[in-house]
Amino acid sequence: MEELPDLNANILLEIVKTEMPFGKYKGRLLCDLPDFYLEFFLRKGGFPKGKLGQMMATVYEIKLNGLEYLLEPLKK
């Protein structure tokens, strides 16, 4: 089983400020990546290694559990 990302305020702030650095959604904020795109990574072997992967995994968990509302105040 894959280890769940460590949810803390800093990673949540980074998620709403960091753009996807590559691929079809390059330039889109990580928090705005579509669910199916995140699921694509899971089907193809997992999220990238390192901090980017941790942030993407966090976004996936947030969306999976219907917690997007937690990010709304941070986007402003």
Which two tokens mark 4?
Answer: 């769940």
Q: Is 27 left (phi over 0), alpha (psi -120 to 50) or beta?
A: left
List pLDDT tens digits, range 20-74. 999 999 999 999 999 999 999 999 999 999 999 999 999 999 999 999 998 998 8
pTM of the predicted structure, to 2 decimals: 0.85
* Res. 4: pLDDT tops 50: no
Quick one: pLDDT at residue 46? Answer: 94
Quick one: pLDDT at residue 17? Answer: 96
* Domain range summary for the chain, segments of one domain joined by +: 9-70
